[in-house]
Structure 1
Amino acid sequence: MSRFRSFVAGAAVAVLAALAPAVPQPAAASARPAAPPAAAVWESSLQGVHGVAPDITVRQIARVSTGGWGIRVRLGNPFGTAPVTVRNAWLGRTLAPGVAALVPGSNHRLRFHGAATVSIPPGREVVSDAVPIGVEAGQDVAVSLYAPAAPINDHTFPPFAYDPPASYVNTGGDTAADESNASFPSSPVVPGGTPGTGTGYHPGQIWWLDLVTADRPAARGAVVALGDSITDGYQAVGPPGQRWTDVLADRMAAVPPAQRLAVANAGISGNTVSVQPNPYDPTGQCCGPPAPQRLERDVLSVPGVRTVLLLEGTNDLGGGQNAPPAPAQQVIDAMRGIADRVHTRGLRIVGATVLPMCLTAGSAGEQNRQAVNTWIRTGGVFDAVVDFDAVLRNPANPTEMMPDLRADCYHPNAAGDALLGTSIPLSVLGPVS
């Protein structure tokens, strides 16, 4: 194990030495700087609709990437065919990381334009009024919602067992205001990859909640990571048990707020970067709409977004039972279209190369992956490039990730995610203004 840690540390140092200039310091100014605009401090993109909520309360745990004051949440019903009527909603801070019990006095009723209840029509979202509390970087926020008979728009993926996002489904009825965990048992543990409504702890499962924002963030804005399962955190299990976006958030927390960006994770497992049938799911409910179709909701509408980091293409190029592998040009055209829309909004976009996928050397699939990566590196479409392929590929066989850093052919393990998160030069995420 010590030799493995030394290898990972050495690889990270080598990558950073080659790629990472220092984060630029803000210019001195005689006038007091303006307060930063509101920004997302957490995100978990909704992916589909699975069933209808019974007469229960769900307490959802969101670990914010940076601190802030004046907390709001966004609730969505993008996939439902009937309204989501939220009868009671509360927000508080957890007593300890990953638990359902709340700090006494921290639980506040959420209101929507002053009302304690809200109905979300199909295809729409609502944003709450601000709650007058502050949160610190890495702190868990608990959002408790009571919406019986509502279509469940969710985000579900198999995560590290006790690392949020997660939710607790209560024993029944409306207990959203309860600061204790008496009605929110931590067992049984319901597998995160399986949508379900049973009482207990649901790692990786979120209902209706897709954004937590701060009116006064301890950051100058946000970077949104648009991606698939690699960004979602699938298979990032074992120590340290973090997604690469969480590692990036920890690094951001160490720089001054005037230079810092909150990190919003818009990854959805199984997502595609091009508009096509989903390779894994003919129902279209497992993996979210293709990236171009969800770009407005999950990226461009996110408060405070300054930079987009795009890591997609694996599912398009790999294909599945429901769709054949996509040609390189299809992926390139989709990425170019996303970059154009991001630039039209005056935002920065960083492209990440597609990781090795165990495709046979010289095969059509591997040639397509190489063509896409060459275009990402040299096409001039992105404001900057992070070469994740170069960070994780096996020098002895460049068609696969290094054995100690991969969970399977498509996904890094936790150590691989840690290396990705440390390899990103903070300066590529945008100049301080």
Structure 2
Amino acid sequence: MTERPPSATARAPRPRRGALPAAALGLVLLVGTGVWVGASPGADEAPAGPPRALAGPRTTTVPAERGTDADSAALGRWVTTWAAAPVGPEPRATAPDGEVTDRTVRNVVHTSVGGTGARVTLSHRYGTAPLHLAHATLALAAGPGSPSAVPGTVRRLTFAGRTGVRVPPGGQVVSDPVALPVPADADLLITTYAPASGGPATYHPRARQTSYLARGDHAAAVSAAAYTERTPGWRQVVALDVRGGGARGTLVAFGDSLTDGVSATPGANRRWPDVLADRLRTQGGAPRYGVANLGISGNRLLTGGPGRPAANPSGLRRFPADVLDRSGVRVVVIALGINDILRTPHTTDPTRITEGLRTLTRHAHAHGLRVVGATLMPFHGHRGHRPELEEVRRAVNAGIRAGGVFDAVADFDRAVRDPYHPEALHPHYDSGDHLHPNDAGYHRMAEAVDLGALRAAAPARL
């Protein structure tokens, strides 16, 4: 890839569309079963020593495409149209200890691909007591970011045929399928009501999307009148799957704040995985994949946060649950390692990072997945920059470009760096902190992904 500075007329990300009114709602209700499990991640890796083979637990939810029902055969496999990684227990924010008691949570999520049926995955990974969800719904949002629903689209979610469900600490539930025409590139509302606390809510704090809270049970409400409280994070919900829309599989974007989109415009869906989803949906000949963003701000490859289960677990630890358990996964794009270098304790041996990335690739290959890996982007001018850390970053990138780490490379470093000062982001792409890109930078990162490299193919021999 040749390096090119941006022109003064560089393309701005296009405006996003909001939810579209449902077109044909008289569909037959799809039959399915929600399964709850009690798996809980264990302790994280120690910061020293070579990366170990992945041993993180998997949830035992049975993917719908493995079933034998006629609906599955007629409508095709499940793919993930939206996802978020559970990060940790919510701190004191909306109630004591971040508990959700007698509250309705209305999460606003954005689809990458559409379908004719949908299901929702809810997580209680960081709960300390069983969580009773008395009522849950799915609906199309009336407009971009709106907590109001399109009239006639609110669907009550059931779990193994029941409207309520009990989720054990550390577990998750998958709803039964519902018939709902789900547009691509649209906002949906995933709403849950918990009459009592199950301990701290499992959440994703830096959503770059406003969601809403209401006192009492308003899960079935079309109006936004009761939703008087705003929140910047997603609670309980970790995935939205669709089928019947023709998508061939799921692409998982696995990374840190640069994937999470911490500096993207809130509510505009301009993170690089969003822009990549646009490219996959609109460019002729591109593979038709749903895109699941499993980035976590502050995430490291080798070490994770405190607690059992660990908050913000390492990439090595969370890969099985966050990547392999998504529906219909065909390819994963990995962009991890910069926090291992930048944050204390610093990882100053580049081979530990490249070997950790290679471990993820081997594990993905064992499950038939193709892996595209990104080079580490520059951070000169950031408060944590030191010359010796820059040398580690360059050595990691040299190892990635040399091959033997991933099946293919997305050169994010070359795409967004200043060609006249390669240790720094180009000013056109810099959000201002000299580490995170702005919307134009995220757009450029997505352009650096070769769409042809995303096609499922025989994994490279490492």
The TM tier, using the shorter chain, reads: 0.7 to 0.9
Confirm or deny that 1:227 pairs with 2:255. yes
Shift of 1:122: 1.7
Q: Which residue of 2 aligns with 1:371?
A: 395
From the superposition, tell whether residues 273 and 7 of structure 1 become closer, same or farther in structure 2 (CA, over 3 Å): farther
Counterpart of 1:409 (choices 434, 447, 451) is 434
Q: Which residue of 2 aligns with 1:351?
A: 373
Q: Which residue of 2 aligns with 1:28?
A: none
Deviations 1:255-305 (CA, angstroms, capped at 9, x unpaired):
46983111110001000111x254xxx568996210111111110110011
The separation in 2 between residues aligned to 1:146 and 1:286, in whole angstroms, is 26
* 8 Å Cα contact 1:241-1:414 kept in structure 2: no
The separation in 1 between residues aligned to 2:261 and 2:385, in whole angstroms, is 27
* 8 Å Cα contact 2:331-2:456 kept in structure 1: no
* Paired AA for residue 371 in structure 2: I
Counterpart of 2:211 (choices 144, 147, 167) is 167
Tell me the SS of whatever aligns to 2:300.
Answer: coil
The separation in 2 between residues aligned to 1:90 and 1:248, in whole angstroms, is 29
Give the gaps of 5 or more residues in structure 2: 13-72, 91-97
The separation in 2 between residues aligned to 1:398 and 1:137, in whole angstroms, is 37
* 8 Å Cα contact 1:240-1:414 kept in structure 2: no
Deviations 1:142-172 (CA, angstroms, capped at 9, x unpaired):
011012312300001162xxxx4x31111x1
The separation in 1 between residues aligned to 2:269 and 2:440, in whole angstroms, is 8
Shift of 1:314: 1.0
From the superposition, tell whether residues 387 and 4 of structure 1 become closer, same or farther in structure 2 (CA, over 3 Å): closer
Confirm or deny that 1:8 pairs with 2:33. no
Q: Which residue of 2 aligns with 1:16?
A: none
Shift of 1:105: 1.2
CA RMSD, 1 decimal: 2.6
Aligned counterparts, 1:272-291, within 5 A? 272-274=300-302, 276-278=303-305, 288-291=312-315
From the superposition, tell whether residues 174 and 34 of structure 1 become closer, same or farther in structure 2 (CA, over 3 Å): closer
Shift of 1:240: 6.8
- Once the two structures are overlaid, the 10-residue window that deviates more, 328-337 or 254-263, is 254-263
Give the gaps of 5 or more residues in structure 1: 11-32, 186-199
Deviations 1:387-415 (CA, angstroms, capped at 9, x unpaired):
00000111121111011211122210111
Q: Which residue of 1 aligns with 2:197?
A: 149
Q: Which residue of 2 aligns with 1:303?
A: 327
* 8 Å Cα contact 2:254-2:293 kept in structure 1: yes
Q: Which residue of 2 aligns with 1:19?
A: none
Confirm or deny that 1:428 pairs with 2:420. no
Confirm or deny that 1:37 pairs with 2:77. yes
Shift of 1:215: 2.8
From the superposition, tell whether residues 88 and 361 of structure 1 become closer, same or farther in structure 2 (CA, over 3 Å): closer
From the superposition, tell whether residues 139 and 362 of structure 1 become closer, same or farther in structure 2 (CA, over 3 Å): closer
The separation in 1 between residues aligned to 2:361 and 2:408, in whole angstroms, is 11
Deviations 1:334-357 (CA, angstroms, capped at 9, x unpaired):
111111100000110000000001
Shift of 1:102: 0.6
From the superposition, tell whether residues 303 and 257 of structure 1 become closer, same or farther in structure 2 (CA, over 3 Å): farther
Counterpart of 1:49 (choices 81, 89, 113) is 89
Q: Which residue of 2 aligns with 1:271?
A: 299
* Paired AA for residue 219 in structure 2: A
Q: Which residue of 2 aligns with 1:61?
A: 108
Shift of 1:416: 0.5
* 8 Å Cα contact 2:119-2:177 kept in structure 1: yes
Deviations 1:208-228 (CA, angstroms, capped at 9, x unpaired):
100000132431111000000
Aligned counterparts, 1:12-411, within 5 A? 36-50=76-90, 51-147=98-194, 148-150=196-198, 151-157=200-206, 159=208, 164=209, 166-170=210-214, 172-185=215-228, 200-203=229-232, 205-237=233-265, 242-255=270-283, 259-274=287-302, 276-278=303-305, 288-320=312-344, 323-358=345-380, 363-407=387-431, 408-411=433-436
Instruction: Give the TM-score taking structure 2 as reference length.
Output: 0.77
Shift of 1:431: 4.5
Shift of 1:123: 1.8
Deviations 1:345-394 (CA, angstroms, capped at 9, x unpaired):
01100000000011799932111111111111113231110100000111
Tell me the SS of whatever aligns to 1:101.
Answer: coil
* 8 Å Cα contact 1:38-1:217 kept in structure 2: no
From the superposition, tell whether residues 52 and 354 of structure 1 become closer, same or farther in structure 2 (CA, over 3 Å): same
* 8 Å Cα contact 2:287-2:451 kept in structure 1: no
* 8 Å Cα contact 2:342-2:385 kept in structure 1: no
Tell me the SS of whatever aligns to 2:10.
Answer: helix
Shift of 1:247: 0.7
The separation in 2 between residues aligned to 1:258 and 1:387, in whole angstroms, is 19
* Paired AA for residue 263 in structure 2: Q
* 8 Å Cα contact 1:240-1:415 kept in structure 2: no
The separation in 2 between residues aligned to 1:105 and 1:158, in whole angstroms, is 27
